[in-house]
Amino acid sequence: MSGAGELLDLSLTGLSAALAAGRVSAREATEAALARIEATDGRVGAFLAVTAERARERAAAADARAARGARLGPLDGVPLAVKDLFLTRGVATTAASRILAGFVPPYDAAVVERLEAAGAVLLGKLNLDEFAMGSSNENSAVKPCHNPWDLARTPGGSSGGSAAALAARQAFGTLGTDTGGSIREPAAFCGVVGLKPTYGRVSRYGVVAFASSLDQPGPLGRTVGDAAALLQVIAGRDARDLTSSTRPVDDYGAALEEGARGLTVGVPRAWLAEGVEAGVARRVKEALALYERLGAKLVDVELPHTKYGIAAYYLIAPAEASSNLARYDGVRFGLREGGAGGLKGMYGATRAAGFGAEPKRRIMLGTYALSAGYYDAYYLRAQKVRTLLRRDFERAFERCDVIAGPVTPAVAFRLGEKVADPLAMYLEDVFTVTCNLAALPGLSVPCGLHPEQQLPVGLQLIGRPFDEATLLRAARALEREQGPLPRPAGLEA
Amino acid sequence: MALSLDEVRRIAVLARLELSPEEEQLFQGQLSAVLDYVAQLEELDVSGVEPMTHALAEAGAAPLRPDELQPSLPPEEAVRAAPAREGTFFKVPRIIE
C-alpha cells in the first residue's frame, strides 16, 4: 500500500482482502482513518465522539490475531463507526440529545457486540438527528452534519453522520437505524449504499428506542458488497429482542454476483410522476432501462395507498415515540433539572430542558393521537391503513421480485432550507416510510449524479420480507454496470 | 384541524413537558398543520380492515426464553448513571408532604 490516501480509497471488502493478504495492517488502516477524521471532520461534523485509544487497542489485537494466523473473518481489523443511537459500554451514548448528557451505558447494543466479536475496530460514534427524528441531521442537539458532496447541504437524516463519514472516507463501513427512511435517505444524498433490513432481521437490543414497531438497525457501505459483509455479521436471532426473527440468515455474499438476468422488477409508475424532480426521475429511469438491458423484466405495479404513508407514519411513529421517550424523566440517567419543584416539576423541567424541538413536537403529536377520545380516530385508523399498505406490497410481489423507484423526490437540500416547516421536512420521506410500515427490506444504491446539480441520486429497491439477498443482488448488478461515482467534491476544495 | 392553545397546554401536561409561551404558540400552529395533513386518512374506508398490530408476521410465535433466573446488571451498575442516588437507590425529590 503506497499511502494513506490509497488505503482510504479501498472499500471495506478491499481493505479486508488487503488485511488478509498482509499488504496492510489494522494499525495502518486505523491510523489512516483517524488522521482523515482529524483532517476533515471539522468541516463534515460526522462524529460526535472519536474513540481513538480504544480503536488503537482493537487494531493491535487484530494485528496480533493476524500474526498468529487466527483472523476472525471479513470485518477483523476493519475500522468502522456506528450511529450514536447504539449503546456502547463505557463510551458515552447521546442520541444527539441534551437529555442523555453524561450517560455512559453499562452494556453494548447487540450489533456492537457482534461487530466487535467479528474483530471490527470501532472508531467512534456518529452524528444523527436527535433520537433519530429527522431527515436532515439538523435536529442534532450537538451540531449539524454536512454533506461531503457540498458542505452547504444536508447529508440527510437521521443517520446523516453514518452516510457522511463514508462519503468523506473517514470509515470503511458504518451502521445506522431506519425508522422511516433514516438509512436510505442519507445514503442516497451522500452517494453510498444503505440497507434497511426486514423488521426483525437485526436485533434492536441496546438501540435507543424511537418507534419500536418501525426501528431497524442496518448497514451503510461504500459498495453493495460492503453492506452485504456488514449485514452478514449483524443479522440473526437475538434472544434479548423478542421481535428478532428466528429465520436463518442467508449467505449475502453468495447472492451478490448472480446478476440481474431473470429478475422481475416492479415499477410503481406513480412514484416517477408528480412531485419527483426531473433530474432524479431521469436517473431512476435510466437505471430501470439498464436493468432491462441486463436481462431483467420490468412490470408495472400499483401501490395505491402510498400517498397515505406519510400520514399514517406521522401518527404511528410519534405515538410510539411518546411512549418510548417517557423514560427520560431525570430519575435514572442523563439530565436532571428543577429538583426543587417536586417530582412532577422535575419531570417537566428535565424534559423541557433536555429535548429539542423535534422530539417535543413528536411527543406532543403522539400523546394527542393516543389520548382519550382520539385513539380510534388517529392511531387505530393509521394502523388499519398500515394493513392496506402491507396488502399493496403483497399484491405487487405476486408479480415481481423487487420494486424499484426513487429514494427521495429530490437530491440533498440546503441546510436550513426546511427547518422552519416540519411538514415539508416530513414529506421528504414519502417513498421510504411505506417500507417501514409494511416491515419490508429496502435498499438505496447510487444511480448516478443529478445531471445539473452533480449530486448523488439514489435508486430504492424494496424486497419481500427477509429477501435482502435479492435486493443486494439487484443493487450489485446496477453498481457493477455503472461503476463507482466520482469522489465527492465538497472536501477537495 | 386547528388545536386551541388550551388543548396544546393539556397535551403538554399529559406529556410531562413544560412549554414556554413561545413554544405553545409554535406547536399550536405546527401540530395543527400536521393534523390537517393526516386528516386525509379519513378518505379511506377502513371498515373491516384489521389494524396491523405486529410488524413481524411471526411476532408472538418466536420462542420465549426459558423462565430461568439469569444474571443481570448488578444494582451498583444499574444506578451508576443516575443523576442523583443514595447507595443503590435512585434519589428523587420528596413526594410526600
pLDDT tops 90 at residue A2:
no
**Average pLDDT of the residues of chain A:** 96
Q: Given an 8 Å threshold on Cβ–Cβ distance, is B11 in contact with A199?
A: no
Residue A64 confidence (pLDDT) = 98
In this predicted structure, the answer to whether residue A284 has a pLDDT above a threshold of 70 is yes
Whether B97 maps to a domain, the answer reads no
Asked if residue B21 is part of any domain, the answer here is yes
Q: Which residues of B18-35 are buried (b: 16+ CB within 10 A; e: fewer)?
A: bbeeebeebbbebbbebb
Please compute the mean of the pLDDT values over residues A165-172 and round it to a whole number: 98
What is the pLDDT, as a whole number, of residue A4?
77
CA-based nearest distance B24→chain A, Å: 10
For residue B1 the three cell numbers come to 384541524
Instruction: Flag whether B57 is in a domain.
Output: no
Chain A residue at shortest CA distance from B9: A364
pLDDT (mean) for A310-319:
96
Q: How many CB atoms lie within 10 A of CB A82?
A: 30
Cβ separation A385–B46 shorter than 8 A: yes
Query: A403-453, pLDDT tens digit by residue?
Result: 999 999 999 999 999 988 888 888 889 999 999 999 999 999 999 999 999
Could you say which residues of chain B have pLDDT below 70?
57-63, 97
Q: Is residue B11 in a domain? A: yes
Interchain CB distance below 8 Å, B16 and A344: yes
Which candidate from A312, A340, A348 shows the least CB-CB separation from B16?
A348
- Which residues form the domain of B17? 5-42
Cα distance from N-terminal residue to C-terminal residue, chain B: 42
Chain A residues with CB inside 8 Å of B75's CB? none
Of A351, A382, A426, the CB nearest to B17: A351
Cell of A483: 461503476
Cβ(A238)–Cβ(A259) under 8 Å?
Answer: no
Neighboring chain B residues of A333 at a CB cutoff of 8 Å: 81-83
Q: Do A126 and A47 meet the contact criterion of CB atoms below 8 Å apart?
A: yes
CA distance A51 to A112: 14
> Is there a catalytic annotation at residue A344?
no
- The chain B residue lying nearest A344, using CA atoms, is B16
Q: What residue of B is the nearest CA neighbor of A201?
A: B56
C-alpha–C-alpha distance, residues A402 and A396, integer Å: 9
User: Is A187 in contact with A220 (CB distance < 8 Å)?
Assistant: yes
Burial class of residue A285 (count of CB atoms within 10 Å of its CB; 0-12, 13-18, 19+): middle
pLDDT digits (tens, 9 = 90+) for A53-96: 999 999 999 999 999 999 999 999 999 999 999 999 999 999 99
Which pLDDT score, from 0 to 100, does residue B94 have?
Answer: 85
- A444 catalytic residue (yes or no): no
Is the Cβ pair B84, A339 closer than 8 Å? yes
- Contact between A70 and A34 under an 8 Å Cβ cutoff? The reply is no
Name the E strands within A77-130: 79-83, 121-126
Q: Has residue B30 been placed in a domain?
A: yes
B64 in a domain, yes or no?
no
| Class of residue A482 by CB neighbours under 10 A (exposed 0-12, middle 13-18, buried 19+) | middle
Phi, psi of A421 (to 5 degrees): -130, 85
Query: C-alpha grid cell for residue A462?
Result: 424494496
- Domains and their CATH numbers in chain A: 4-234 (3.90.1300.10)
- Contacts for A352 with CB less than 8 Å, ≥ 6 apart: A337, B17, B18, B19, B20
- What's this model's pTM, rounded to 2 decimal places? 0.97
Yes or no: say if A261 and A291 are a contact pair by the CB < 8 Å rule: no
Q: What is the pLDDT of residues A246-266, one digit of tens each?
A: 899 999 999 899 999 999 999
Q: What is the torsional sign of CA B89, A360, B36, B7? A: positive
In-domain check, residue B28: yes
- Is A158 in the active site? yes
pLDDT over 80 (residue A329): yes
Annotated catalytic residue: which of A25, A162, A182, A444? A182
Size of interface A-B (CB pairs under 8 A): 173
ipTM attached to this prediction: 0.94
What pLDDT sits at residue A425?
A: 85
Candidates A278, A274, A287, A286; CA nearest to A453 is: A278
Interchain CB distance below 8 Å, B11 and A246: no
Beta bridge partners of A86: A207
Interface test with B, best of A213, A237, A368 (most B CBs within 10 A): A368
With CB atoms and an 8 Å threshold, state whether B23 touches A360.
yes
| Strands in A98-200 per DSSP E | 121-126, 174-177, 193-196
Partner-chain contact A360 B62, CB within 8 Å: no
Residue A493, pLDDT > 60, answer no
∠ at Cα A46 (A43, A49), nearest 5°?
110
Give the nearest chain A residue to B48 (CA atoms).
A384
Domain contains B33 = yes
Set A16, A97, A158, A245: catalytic member: A158
Q: Are A94 and B71 in contact, with CB atoms under 8 Å apart?
A: no
Q: Do A348 and B64 touch (CB under 8 A)?
A: no
H helices of B1-94, where? 5-14, 21-38, 75-80
Q: From the candidates A16, A25, A83, A203, which is the catalytic residue? A: A83
The count of domains in chain B is 1
B6 to chain A nearest CA, in Å? 13
Give the pLDDT confidence of A353-395 residue by residue, as tens digits: 999 999 999 999 999 999 989 999 999 999 999 999 999 999 9
**pLDDT > 60? residue A475:** yes
Contacts of B43 (CB under 8 A, 6+ apart): none
Mean pLDDT score, A293-321 = 97
pLDDT at position B66 is 84
**Separate counts of helices (H) and strands (E) for chain A:** 17, 11
* Mean pLDDT to the nearest integer, A13-41: 98
The CATH number assigned to the domain holding B22 equals 1.10.20.60
Q: Which residue of B has its CA nearest to A313?
A: B38
